[in-house]
């Protein structure tokens, strides 16, 4: 690589083709600087943590900027995803820190092997740069230079600034501009630097490009070639990387305004994958924490009938929101974010928003799909058979409005009797009584068993869920108590014996677990996974639980 990337070959390199092609289509007036309204920029020799990727694409040499970030392997460089999208046939790829005209290779050359480019898989699908403009970032894993030293050992690193907001008045922007014939943007081999306020830019979708919220800077002369260059903010007495030139129309559609995809938890997800040397999972389609604060009920079941992996079908998540909207999120594998499609079953409405109190799912009709049972504020109990992504298919009243069922404070469905269906209902009443209804169907509530008589202890069973956590096809009851203790009641049948497994003792954190729903969301065939919605809007999936543990924690939505 050192022999190949001579200063002469570097001098021949041009920016990433897609950005140059878009810029070439701009009218002449849009390609000239508007310096009076922009922050001034000037060429300089750069900083050692920022440099240039060089690569060969067919018979053309290309370049793009990047920034070394801290990593356990001391080998990760951040850049823009559009520098290396799926249409690029990249060979002889290297990273050259602090490349500039006077010293083209001041810190050596660091090769990047095939397969060591990491970005969200959605971005590299056909049209992904337009459909996922907010995912225009990537991390590359470098190999050591010829003397065996790693890039971070040689030049240091600038830490990532995630979820840092937009209030950064002294943001330093670095980029390598290239556009022959424009005197204001010379020289092409030296980077520009500019200090300017960071701004929040929000746009609607337009011209086939998906809108969103981006970081914006206004610096003159940041034309083709500046892709992947850093937005550096001040943090903890030093610099931190809050963005890279890329995003809305891949970094900007004028020479003086540049954008970056906002650096949030998606950046951390891709970075973690790069560190591990694995391609990252696709971003989950789940909304953010502010939305999840309004999730009133979650039911686990098989609602989406058009799943792509039917033999290994995972459960879907039915959500009742505070405004009455009903949504199903289709279950998927971990590499697709556990949920890969959203279906709106019913829009916001007062009936469900104001009066649906408890919701649980099971197979009460025996058709291998999932049905819903809803307890309403007036005590009515309703069965909705075969709910799917197309909505409801009938309604059966199991109990008319009545005073007794107004006191059913927690309900969950599971397989607690001899047959193979998830058609049994556990109810915790306001006085602490615990009841089991077996073989519930559209014909009625089946057989009732009083499992626990009214008592003070069970009034503290705040959340109850069900699943096959011990893997023997006899379902267990899981209880989150008011003091945060979590208990698994193994092989729950409503009669003796059923074992008690304390998963953990009283815990102030778990007092904030407002919704607990058991189901099958992971690779194995058991319903041994648990969805938890927390009071701060965090959504967590615990997979592969057992009699000793709730399972491995997977954060689906950050608080």
Q: Which residues, other chains included, contact 205 with Cβ-Cβ below 8 Å and sequence gap of 6+?
A: 211
Look at residues 74, 114, 77, 76 and name the one whose alpha carbon lies nearest to residue 92: 114
Both tokens of residue 228?
Answer: 């992947």
Give the C-alpha separation, 376 to 547, whole Å: 33
Q: What is the DSSP letter of 23?
A: H
Sign of the alpha-carbon torsion through 491, 496, 497, 500: positive
Give the C-alpha separation, 338 to 56, whole Å: 37
Sign of the alpha-carbon torsion through 215, 217, 222, 223: positive
Q: List, in sequence order, every beta strand (DSSP E) within 104-170.
A: 110-111, 117-118, 138-141
Instruction: State how far Cα 301 lies from the chain centre.
Output: 22
| Sheet of strand 381-384, all strands in order from the earlier edge strand to the far edge | 356-362, 371-376, 381-384, 396-399
0.75 exceeded by pTM: no
Q: Between β-strands 14-15 and 60-69, what pairing exists: parallel, antiparallel or unpaired?
A: parallel
Give the C-alpha separation, 3 to 9, whole Å: 10
Give the C-alpha separation, 368 to 307, whole Å: 14
Cα dihedral angle (252, 284, 304, 411), rounded to 10 degrees? -140
CB 198 within 8 A of CB 219: no
The whole-number pLDDT of residue 201 equals 92
- The SS3 call for residue 31 is helix
Q: Which residues, other chains included, contact 325 with Cβ-Cβ below 8 Å and sequence gap of 6+?
A: 344, 346, 347, 348, 349, 352, 353
Both tokens of residue 40?
Answer: 């001034």
Give the C-alpha separation, 363 to 553, whole Å: 27
The whole-number pLDDT of residue 308 equals 47
Both tokens of residue 381?
Answer: 């109990």
Element holding 331 (H helix, E strand): strand 326-331
Give the C-alpha separation, 41 to 35, whole Å: 9
Look at residues 228, 233, 213 and name the one whose alpha carbon lies nearest to residue 162: 233
The whole-number pLDDT of residue 65 equals 94
Both tokens of residue 557?
Answer: 């939505």
Residue 288 to residues 55, 139, 265, 457, 538: CA-CA distances in angstroms? Answer: 38, 24, 11, 35, 8
Q: What is the DSSP letter of 264?
A: S
Quickly tell me which residue has 């209030």 as its tokens.
167
Q: What is the DSSP letter of 127?
A: T
The whole-number pLDDT of residue 24 equals 61
Look at residues 353, 366, 554, 354 and name the one whose alpha carbon lies nearest to residue 442: 366
Give the C-alpha separation, 389 to 101, whole Å: 59
Residue 69 to residues 107, 141, 228, 255, 520: CA-CA distances in angstroms? Answer: 16, 11, 13, 27, 38
Count of CB atoms situated within 10 Å of the CB of 132: 23
Q: Which residues pair with 160 in a beta bridge?
A: 241
The whole-number pLDDT of residue 88 equals 56
Both tokens of residue 261?
Answer: 């995809």
Give the C-alpha separation, 22 to 209, whole Å: 13
Q: What is the pLDDT along the chain (559 residues), one digit of tens a residue?
A: 889 999 999 988 888 876 656 556 555 555 555 544 567 888 899 999 999 999 988 778 889 999 999 999 999 999 999 998 655 567 899 999 999 989 999 999 999 988 899 998 888 877 778 888 999 999 999 999 999 999 999 999 999 999 999 999 999 999 988 765 555 555 567 899 999 999 999 998 888 888 889 999 998 877 777 889 999 999 999 999 999 998 887 877 677 889 999 999 889 999 999 999 988 877 778 988 899 999 999 999 999 875 444 446 799 999 999 999 999 999 988 777 788 889 999 999 999 999 999 999 999 998 888 999 999 999 999 999 999 999 999 999 999 999 999 999 999 999 999 888 899 999 999 999 999 999 999 999 999 999 999 999 999 999 999 999 987 778 999 999 999 999 999 999 988 778 899 999 999 999 999 999 999 999 888 899 999 999 999 999 999 999 999 999 988 887 8
Count of CB atoms situated within 10 Å of the CB of 395: 12
């Amino acid at each position: 690589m050192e022999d190949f990337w001579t200063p002469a070959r570097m001098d021949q390199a041009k920016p990433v083709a897609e950005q140059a092609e878009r810029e070439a289509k701009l009218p002449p007036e849009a390609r000239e600087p508007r310096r009076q309204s922009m922050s001034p920029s000037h060429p300089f020799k750069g900083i050692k943590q920022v440099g240039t990727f060089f690569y060969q694409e067919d018979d053309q040499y290309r370049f793009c900027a990047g920034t070394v970030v801290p990593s356990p392997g001391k080998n990760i460089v951040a850049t823009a995803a559009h520098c290396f999208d799926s249409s690029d046939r990249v060979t002889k790829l290297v990273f050259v820190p602090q490349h500039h005209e006077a010293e083209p290779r001041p810190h050596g050359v660091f090769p990047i092997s095939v397969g060591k480019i990491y970005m969200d898989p959605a971005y590299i699908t056909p049209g992904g740069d337009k459909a996922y403009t907010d995912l225009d970032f990537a991390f590359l894993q470098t190999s050591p230079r010829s003397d065996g030293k790693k890039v971070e050992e040689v030049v240091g690193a600038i830490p990532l600034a995630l979820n840092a907001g937009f209030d950064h008045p002294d943001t330093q922007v670095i980029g390598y501009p290239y556009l022959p014939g424009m005197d204001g943007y010379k020289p092409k081999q030296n980077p520009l630097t500019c200090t300017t306020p960071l701004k929040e830019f929000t746009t609607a979708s337009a011209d086939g490009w998906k809108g969103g919220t981006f970081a914006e800077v206004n610096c003159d002369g940041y034309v083709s070639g500046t892709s992947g260059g850093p937005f550096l903010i001040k943090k903890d007495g030093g610099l931190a990387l809050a963005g890279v030139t890329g995003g809305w129309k891949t970094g900007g559609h004028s020479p003086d305004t540049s954008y970056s995809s906002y650096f949030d938890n998606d950046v951390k997800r891709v970075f973690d994958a790069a560190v591990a040397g694995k391609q990252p999972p696709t971003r989950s389609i789940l909304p953010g924490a502010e939305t999840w604060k309004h999730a009133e009920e979650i039911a686990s079941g098989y609602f989406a009938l058009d799943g792509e992996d039917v033999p290994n079908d995972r459960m879907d998540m039915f959500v009742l929101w505070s405004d009455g909207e009903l949504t199903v999120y289709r279950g998927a594998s971990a590499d697709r974010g556990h949920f890969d499609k959203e279906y709106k079953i019913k829009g916001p409405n007062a009936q469900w928003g104001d009066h649906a109190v408890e919701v649980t799912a099971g197979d009460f009709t025996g058709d291998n799909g999932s049905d819903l049972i809803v307890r309403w504020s007036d005590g009515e109990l309703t069965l909705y058979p075969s709910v799917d992504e197309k909505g409801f298919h009938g309604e059966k009243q199991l109990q008319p409005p009545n005073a007794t069922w107004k006191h059913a404070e927690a309900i969950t469905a599971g397989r607690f009797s001899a047959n193979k269906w998830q058609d049994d209902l556990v109810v915790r009443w306001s006085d602490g009584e615990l009841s089991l209804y077996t073989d519930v169907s559209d014909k009625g509530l089946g057989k009732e068993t009083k499992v626990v008589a009214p008592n003070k202890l069970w009034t503290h069973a705040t959340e109850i869920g069900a699943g096959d956590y011990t893997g023997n096809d006899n379902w267990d009851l899981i209880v989150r108590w008011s003091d945060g203790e979590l208990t698994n009641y193994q092989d729950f049948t409503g009669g003796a014996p059923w074992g008690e497994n304390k998963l953990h003792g009283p815990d102030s954190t778990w007092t904030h677990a407002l919704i607990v729903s058991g189901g099958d969301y992971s690779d194995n065939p058991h319903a041994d996974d648990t969805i938890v919605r927390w009071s701060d809007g965090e959504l967590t999936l615990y997979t592969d639980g057992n009699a000793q543990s709730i399972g491995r924690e997977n954060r689906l939505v950050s608080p």
